Amino acid sequence: MRGKSTGDLLYAGVVYLFLFAVVFVTFYPFWNVLVLSVNSASDTIKGGIYFWPRELNFTSYKEILTDHEILHAVWVTVARTVIGTPLTVIVISLLAYPLSNRELVARRPVTLYFIFTMYFGGGLIPYYMVLKNLQLIDSFWVFVLPGLMNVFYMILVRTFIEQLPQEISESAKMDGANDLQVYFRIIMPLTMPVLATIALFTAIGHWNAWFDSYVFTYKSSLKTLQAVLVKILNQYQTGAMVSDAQKLADSSKRLAVSSDTIRMAATMVATIPIVMVYPFLQRYFVKGMTLGSVKS
């Protein structure tokens, strides 16, 4: 074997070193959050906790999981995800089927009508005014309705349908099935893999959304988990302005839970569901992404 020269070994060494560095840099911050969240708050303030908890303590999780604001926020987030995701998938896939049909009258202008919105928009302020006039400000539906349509996902589904053999739907039409029947009985079952992909993406989008809850709702009963987390983050940042001396003074009071540990635990609670759907994501999204790069 000529391949194993010193140059090759050196190259392989650099490659592995680089990859280990990447793994460390991406993974360590999550690990650090986990460690901080399970360390006793009074001990955390002393600093020096990097890789392992020093005083194992789950008070912050107990605190969070009995906190009404956070529990309610989790409930709102779950509700928007469970209600919003299937509706979005239905609206998008219903649109993708006609647009994949080459016989559709005015196919190009209709497609352009949707694609154009990817490149130009009215911006935040007029959008807010529209939501206000649709009575969506301070309504649960502001989480669901604006997200029903997504052009990028539609293109994914359309590309997928276009790659299905044409004969299937044609023979069904010969048998007298109308477009709706063809869609629901034949196309939809066949497109399940891509629908699962966009469902996962949409669900993650709902889980991660904070801006709509933070800006378009005022009632505390409509705050999502991420929006509550933003509030906690803001409090922390204001707190960070306070000198370290102040923090030490606080620590002498022996608070059972500092805002910092709470923040870490809340971050963990928001991250865990993402990690849980991760294996499914892995299976679908690589396919979805590469599909998307095949432009029409």
Partner 1 sequence: MKTQADHAASGLPPAARRTGNWKRLRNQKFLWLMILPAFICTLLFSYTPMFGLYMAFINYQPGGSFASSFFGGEFVGLQWFKYFFDSGDFWIILRNTLAQSLLSLAFGFPAPIILAIAINEVRSGAFKRFVQTVSYLPHFISWVIAANIIISVLSSQGLVNKVLMLLHVTDKPIAFFQHGPYFWWIIALSNMWKDMGFNAIMYLAAIASINPELYEAARVDGASRIRQMLHVTLPALRPTIVILLILAVGGVLNAGFDQQYLMQNDLVLKYSDVIDTYTYRYGLQNGMFSYGAAVGLFKSLVAFILVLMVNRLAKKVNDQALF
**Sign of the C-alpha dihedral computed for residues 78, 80, 82 and 83 taken in this order:** positive
Tokens 């807010």 belong to 128
User: Looking at 71, 82, 112, 242, which residue binds partner 1 (CB under 8 A)?
Assistant: 112
Helix ranges (DSSP H) in 101-224: 107-119, 124-133, 151-162, 166-174, 179-182, 188-190, 192-208, 211-216
243 binds partner 1 (CB under 8 A): no
Q: Is 25 exposed, middle or buried (0-12, 13-18, 19+ CB in 10 A)?
A: exposed
Which residues make Cβ contacts (< 8 Å) with residue 103, sequence separation at least 6?
A: none
Minimum CB distance to partner 1, residue 59 (Å): 19
**Could you say which residues in the range 72-111 bind partner 1, by CB under 8 A?**
90-92, 94-95, 97-99, 101-105, 107-108, 110
User: Of 79 and 230, which has the nearer Cβ to partner 1?
Assistant: 230
User: Looking at 8, 56, 135, 252, which residue binds partner 1 (CB under 8 A)?
Assistant: 8
User: Of 135 and 171, which has the nearer Cβ to partner 1?
Assistant: 135
**What is the DSSP code (8-state) at residue 259?**
H
130 binds partner 1 (CB under 8 A): yes
Stretch that binds partner 1, among 53-61, 78-86, 120-128, 157-165 (CB under 8 A): 120-128
**What is the DSSP code (8-state) at residue 283?**
H
Minimum CB distance to partner 1, residue 110 (Å): 7
Minimum CB distance to partner 1, residue 271 (Å): 6
Q: How many residues bind to partner 1 according to rule CB under 8 A?
A: 101
The amino acid occupying position 251 is: S
Contact assessment for residue 207 and residue 273, using Cβ atoms and an 8 Å cutoff: yes
Contact assessment for residue 263 and residue 293, using Cβ atoms and an 8 Å cutoff: no
**Could you say which residues in the range 180-239 bind partner 1, by CB under 8 A?**
180, 183, 204, 207-211, 215, 226, 229-230, 233, 236-237
User: Of 56 and 90, which has the nearer Cβ to partner 1?
Assistant: 90
**Could you say which residues in the range 258-277 bind partner 1, by CB under 8 A?**
263-264, 267, 270-271, 274-275
Q: Which two tokens stand for residue 281?
A: 């994501």
174 binds partner 1 (CB under 8 A): no
Q: Which two tokens stand for residue 157?
A: 């589904």
**Distances from the Cα of 42 to the Cαs of 61, 75, 240, 254, 255, in angstroms?**
15, 30, 17, 6, 7
User: Looking at 65, 75, 126, 171, which residue binds partner 1 (CB under 8 A)?
Assistant: 126
If you write DSSP's letter for every residue of 148-174 in order, what string do you get? S--HHHHHHHHHHHHTS-HHHHHHHHH
Site string (20-49) toward partner 1, x via CB under 8 A: --xx-xxxxxx-xx--x----------xxx
User: Of 164 and 215, which has the nearer Cβ to partner 1?
Assistant: 215
